[in-house]
Each structure stands twice: as structure tokens, then as C-alpha cells.
A and B are shown apart, each in its own frame.
Chain A
């Protein structure tokens, strides 16, 4: 076997621990991209061993290879058309029967496979005794490895088996599913017809394709129709369907699925012994409480409140530190170095007022985002997120949606773009579109910096509540808009079927959480490094044009913003600085804060009090500052988990005023600031979200969504401001 050409695919059900196995095999040698023409994530990695290296592709997690969803189609096409030399099939040992259904389908493709029985510790704790030898034998001498990937158990044996395969090769399993006699007869007829068409046999195994044609898999039927010389086969296929219809009625495809389960059941019966008849697992016992009719929703709301409090409390101490780092030492030293190098004044200004002020303004919020993504990853990996969807299903039905729509919405608290793509798990087309229209009202992490900034500047003692309130308002608005849309635009929508697996609860691995958190946060940071730098530079130029303009208000940027400003006057923020940052925020909400930093403080930051400091002094301040921030973040963290008990008495009112918040306090009244926050919460999230909507639902819906967001945001901001004034708050 040619060692360089070996290509391995990793397949398995969702929640079987596939990504942990992938990470263990490839380490950091990974590449994340997209499947061609799809927005489904494609992960590839290199597995290195003593004698060489092998490429591994991580297929999307699927329950079957039936091409119901883009994920399943990708997995099926990859195995059948790309023909990997080996499939590593990860199964959940505690849920063997359902997991082996996919295995049966992979066996049918004729690809050699290694079976990884993951989470075998859970299986043991439930009293399941699995005989690996028998399992291997009944699947047709497939190598079987027992692992507990989260604890690193069995991974070396897996690696050995992979190496053994690469070095010696393997023959595909001889065992496969046998269906009812009537079905088998038709499979034989169709296989024979397929075998005569080289255009098909080049790609497909005759028996595999025959089964799929009988199962009625639409995209394959169409493909056969488009292949020349298949008339005979198509005729034979419709004859077979007619014959089988007489026996099975409409349930022919169910009979085929049943056939696979029959095969699997046979394997499991001989290989697995259940020593304890356990009706309720620990996971079920937790579910008794968390999915309870009355407790479910309060528990969910309490958890979300805890998450947002964590984000706020941990962010606060680091904010000052990062802010000080950027406006202090980094700016000072850049100015010093540039001056020493004899850079022109405009370039120094571009770098410090533009790029450093802009990017710094955004990176300040990285600690908060880390906590946010860590918490979301925890909810997802622990299995709780699926419960939230279960609990919310009934409420969502009022909107004509079902519980599955809830998961994209929660993920949208991180970022709306993956939220839009996550709507794919919803089968019903109009339910998907409606979910996609409501997602922008879910407050993403890019909006968080604005809340934190304004919250601390205007409502210092209630910042946490204001931030939490923004998320709640976003959800409430989504509910009202959803109610209206489901009774007007989507009037005749059926909400479609709600079926979803609730994976057993498990303690997420720390490593997995860190990887998740890092992937998302680094995506944000990369954005800060590209889009935000670009926008910041453009805005810097627009602020400095016409060349030599003294007052930014007279710059191009100021003029355009000024022209738009009156639109926002009824909402209380009709100043050019505010409207300007909102225009920039259309590109990405991250830019709102950085633009504000530019227009409100820009000049001040560079010209500010930069007392001559030595490099060593700066370094010491940075380190001490970081230490202080960590100490207070830890204190805040402990306080969140011990509500009502004050472990550490509050320090005398800490001065958390940054230059920007002082400038904002001069420009906004608290009421206008709140109206501004409402507008930021509700208007178009960013260009990327609109593009994702266009890709998923078409341009008309994307345009509809933009109009919807602008209208709702504008009307509500005005209502808040004018209403507040009537109540005498302004």
C-alpha cells in the first residue's frame, strides 16, 4: 500500500465524542474550512506516527447517511464518492444500537472501518458488558477499540490500529445487512442492471446503489435519470417499486430502516449483556427536574442570568487593565518609536488615533467574550442546550416554531452568523426562514462592548442588570415580532415535526471547552485584526478629509453623519458622533465602540498625559495591573456563585472611568443613552449576518430582514426616549 496516499474519514453520530477523538489523533495539526459550496464546517487534520503521516477528514455528525440534511449528504457523498481508504466510526458505547445503525450503513458502502467504542466508562457504569470479540466478529471482523476519549483512555490502542491499517491495509467487512426476501430479490435485479452501466459502477457499488434506489433516495434517483443509458435500470426500478408497494404499502423505506435495525439488533444481542435492568439513568433523574413542566423555564432563565452576570463581573476588572495598556504604554511607545524613526505626523496619528485606538477599543472586551463563549460551550457540551430547546418548545409553538428553533437563537447570543447557519437543523422551510428573521434580535457578543461601555458610564451600580435587560428586551422583541409575522407573512406555515435527541448529561472536558472558547474568540480577534482595522482606517481618512481639516465635525465623515443625525433626534441622540458610529456599526457592531473611541477621544488619547515613563516601569505596571485584575475577577467570580453572601467587602467605589466614558457622559443623557442601547440592540447586526441570510433564505428575505430591523429599532428607540420624557426621566 502506498503510504502517502492513505486517506481516512471520521464518522459518527452527533454527541458520540467524535471531535474529542479527532483532536486526540491530529493534535494541533488541523485545518478548518468549509465543504465546497456548503456552509457546513469541514475539519481536516494530519495524524502523525513514527513511519509517516495520514490525512484525516472529520465528517459532520449524523445519525444516518440518508441525505435528509446537508450534513448527511456531505457524509454520504464523501464516503461513497471520495472513497476514503478507511472510516473510523466513533460510536457511543452506552447507546450502541442507535449508533450502530450508521455503522450498518457504512458497512453497506463496502469501505473498511475501525469501530471506536467511545464512552465505554458510561456503558460500564450502566452495567453494560460489551464483548469486543463478538462485536467485531458479528460486524465481519471489524477492528474494535474501546475508548474513553475525554480521559485519554484507549487512544494509544486506536493509534496502533490505525498505523497497523496504514501499514498492512485491510479488507472490507464481508458482513452486511440482509433485508427481507422480497426486498433482496429486487436488490439483486437492480444490482445486475446497475452492473452493466459503467458510468454508475465507476462511482457506486451496485448493491449499495440498488438499496438506495429502492429506499427512494431522491437525489440519487435524479442522478441516475441524468446518466445516459439508464432507461433499462429506471424501468426495472419502477417495476421493483410497484412490486414492493403491494407488500409494504408506503412503508417500504421504513422496512429498509427496520432491516438495518434488525441486523444491528442481532449484533447487539450477541455482544452486549445488561447486568442491571436500569430504567432510570442519572441523566433521566436530572431531567426529571430540568425538563419539569413548572421548573424547566425558571431554571433556564436563572442559568442565563448567571452567565450574563459572570460575563459582566469578569470583564470589568480586566477592562481597565486592557484599556490602560492600549491608551498608555502601547500608544506612548508607538509614538516614541515613530518619532525616533522620523515618521510624518499624519502617519503617527493614523497608527495611534486610528488603528491602536480602534483595535484597542475592541480588544478590551476579549476577557468578557472568553467568559461568554466558555459558558455557551459549557451549556452545549454538557447537553443542557438540548434541554432548553425541549423546555421552550411549547412557548415557541405560539410563534409557529418549535423547540429546535431555540438552539440557533441561543447560539446567536455568541454570534448571529453561526446562528443563521444553525437554522439548517429545522426541516420546515418557512419555520427556518422565520427563525432566521428573528435571530438578529438576539443580542450577539459584538453588541456586548456597547452595553458594557454605556452600562458602566451611565448606570454604574446597575450595569449588570442593564446588560441582562438588553438580552431580555431582545428576546421579548423577537417574541412580539414573531407573533406578528406568524399571523401575517407566515400565516399558513405548519411548524413541522419536532424530533431531537437529548444526549445524556456529561461533564464537559476542560480541554474541549477551552478549544471551543478559543476558536470563537480567536475568530472575533481575527475580525478585529482585519475588518475592524480596515473600517477604522477608512473612518480615520474620512475624519481627516478634506485634507488638513481641523474639526472632525467638518470632515467628510462628520458631514455625512451630520446629514443623517436628525433622523435620530426624536430618539434623543441626534448628534453626528452617535449617528456616525451607528453607520460604521452596520459593517459590524464591534466597530461602534472603536468608532466612538475615534470620534469622541481620538485626539485626546494620543495627546493625553503621557508622563515620561521608562520601559521597565511600564512593564512592571502591566504585570501588576494584570495581577490586580485577576484577583478582583476571581473575587467577583466567587461572589456570583454565592449569591447573597459577601465574601469580599466591596472596595471603596473604584474609579472605572475611562476617557471614552467621560466623553459619553457629556454627550448623552442617561435616557438618551438607554434609547441608543435599544437601537444598537435591535438594528441590523452586521453585513456578515445579512450575507448569511441572503445565502440561506435568498436576497428578498435578507432585504426584508434589514427593513424589519431598522424599523423596529428606530420606532422602539423613539418610544423609549419620548416615553421616558413623558414620565419625567429625561
Chain B
């Protein structure tokens, strides 16, 4: 995993911590997710990937996200993050 990569949450292995960059979905859904704590810049850890939905840890809560939606959450690996060069997916 390269440091400056942007990737959908569905590609993140279990146990890895990432930072939320963007939610590429409708306005209503983005707001809903933001209210549940998924605001841009927040740290997310993938706790379980059951092949279908994904279970993530965010701000001390555990959220189940459908796979389709998890695909719309664009994240970046946390440790080596430097200048987020706009790399296409």
C-alpha cells in the first residue's frame, strides 16, 4: 500500500487504519454519514469484511456499511500520508 494512494474503503484490509478523504455519493447520504461521525479527515479502522458489508470502527462506534456504499468512501492510508497528490483510482 503506497502512502499517497487514494482508494475505496472496500480495498482496505481488515485491521488497517485509514483516513476518510471524500464520500462520493449523493448529498443526503453524505450528510447522514457525517452525522454518524464519518466526516472528512476522520480515522477509520476496518474491523470485519464479511464479503458483503464491512464493519468499521469510527469515533468509538462500530458502523456496518453496505459494500456498495463502502465503495463510495474514498480513503487514504494513515501513516505515510504526505502531500495527497491527486492520483486517479
Contact = CB atoms under 8 A, between A and B. Distances in A.
B66 A498 contact: yes
A394 B64 CA distance: 12
B30 interface: yes
Interface string A274-295: 0000011001100110011100
Interface stretch (B1-9, B52-60, B76-84): B52-60
A296 interface: yes
A287 B34 contact: no
B53 A253 contact: no
A251 interface: yes
B53 A390 contact: yes
Instruction: Give the residue among B40, B52, B55 with the most A Cβ atoms within 10 A.
Output: B52
A293 B14 CA distance: 13
Contacts of A504: 62
Contacts, number: 124
Interface residues of A, number: 45
B48 A498 contact: no
A284 B35 contact: no
A143 to B, nearest CB: 23
A502 B32 contact: no
Contacts of A502: 55, 62-64
Contacts of A292: 48, 50
B48 A288 contact: yes
Interface stretch (A91-99, A199-207, A699-707, A717-725): A91-99
A394 B53 contact: yes
A258 B34 contact: yes
B37 interface: yes
Contacts of B33: 499
A450 interface: no
A120 B37 CA distance: 21
A116 B64 CA distance: 27
Contacts of B53: 390, 393-394, 403, 498
B55 A287 contact: yes
Contact of B48 (A253, A291, A500): A291
Judged by DSSP, the binding face of A is helix
A497 B24 CA distance: 13
A567 B59 CA distance: 60
A397 B39 contact: no
Given A287-B55, A386-B64, A250 B48 contact: no
Given A250-B27, A251-B30, A403 B51 contact: no
Contacts of A279: 45
B63 A501 contact: yes
A138 interface: no
A390 B60 contact: no
A182 to B, nearest CB: 17
A208 interface: no
A714 to B, nearest CB: 35
Nearest to A280: B47
A679 interface: no
B89 to A, nearest CB: 20
Contact of A253 (B27, B60, B65, B66): B27
Nearest to A504: B62
Contact of B66 (A95, A101, A499, A503): A499
A257 B31 CA distance: 7
Contacts of B62: 283-284, 287, 501-504
Contacts of B69: 497-499
Contact of A389 (B40, B45, B57, B64): B64
A391 interface: yes
B34 A254 contact: yes
Contacts of A393: 50, 52-53, 64, 66
Interface string A489-533: 000000101111111100000000000000000000000000000
Interface string B16-41: 00000001010101111111110110
A228 to B, nearest CB: 30
Given A64-B35, A261-B37, A499-B36, 10 more contacts: A63-B35, A96-B60, A250-B27, A257-B31, A287-B48, A296-B50, A394-B50, A497-B69, A499-B32, A499-B65
Interface of B: 23, 25, 27, 29-37, 39-40, 45, 47-53, 55, 57, 59-69
16 contacts: A94-B60, A95-B61, A97-B37, A98-B61, A251-B30, A254-B34, A261-B39, A284-B47, A287-B62, A291-B48, A292-B50, A293-B50, A390-B53, A394-B67, A499-B32, A500-B63
